[in-house]
Amino acid sequence: MSFKEIRAEIGADKILAVSKLQPAQKIRDLYEQGQRAFGENYVQEALDKKDLLKDLSDIEWHLIGHLQKNKAKFVVGQFALIHSVDSLELAQTLSRQCENKQVTQKILIQVNLANEESKSGFDKNTVIADWTKLCALPHLTIEGLMTMPPLTETGEEVRPYFKELRELQQTLQKQTDLNQHPLNKLSMGTSNDFRVAIQEGATLVRLGTILFGARN
């Protein structure tokens, strides 16, 4: 499937093009076809590409990979949205770094719904337990939730996780001042399962391979 077909099917505003390990030229090519939001996993690679592509004035960079606390100072204010806030300690560190830099950072809370050891993210019960503290952090705006379900052959097998993320969003919305933290975004679905994710209410699907081909 081509970029144009996917865009026609799900809408331009729902596509985050995941460009990790892809050369800057491929990002430029997709930008020229109209894509604006790009997601990167590794901080240094992302900052290098931002610099290489700084002539693209309205490009939008998202950070989607696991973030170590000691890198927080390099990322605040550099990304339109950080999808991978996976612990209260990381959120607290990001908020402190925002204070230093006098910026506000938009974030998503990453939830590990299958409790996979290999994946980062809050467990569901921990998000609920930490929610008041997360919402109280002064320099972060929580825009929604992100999940990365287990890899499967068919998207259908991950439908329950996408449903569960949407239900968790609804539960948390009831406990949130939505003027402060809109909590209206759901970042879920990749090349394998984006259609199912859209059916279950994804507002952003993170598409790598299907847009750029295999990674180096």
Ligand X SMILES: *Cc1c(COP(=O)(O)O)cnc(C)c1O
- Residue 32 makes CB contacts below 8 A (sequence gap 6+) with none
User: Rounded distance, CA 90 to CA 73, Å?
Assistant: 11
CB of 137 to ligand X, least distance (A): 23
Size of the site for ligand X (CB under 6 A): 14
Kindly indicate which of the ranges 49-57, 125-133, 137-145, 207-215 contains the residues binding ligand X, using the contact rule CB under 6 A: 207-215
What is the CB neighbour count within 10 angstroms for residue 79?
Answer: 22
Instruction: State the Cα–Cα distance between residues 34 and 94, nearest whole angstrom.
Output: 31
Does 207 interact with ligand X (rule: CB under 6 A)? yes
Torsion of CA 208, 78, 98, 44, to 10 degrees: 70
Q: Which stretch binds ligand X (CB under 6 A): 29-37, 69-77, 116-124, 201-209?
A: 201-209
For 113, the token pair is 């719904």
Query: Chain-centre distance of CA 115, in angstroms?
Result: 19
20: its two tokens: 């990790």
Residue in the shown chain whose Cβ atom is closest to ligand X:
208
Residue 92 or 120 with smaller CB distance to ligand X:
120
List the x/- string, 164-183, binding to ligand X by CB under 6 A.
--------------------
20 binds ligand X per the rule CB under 6 A? yes
Our finding on whether 209 is near ligand X (CB under 6 A) is: yes
**Residue numbers at the binding site for ligand X (CB under 6 A):** 18, 20, 41, 64-65, 148, 190-192, 206-210
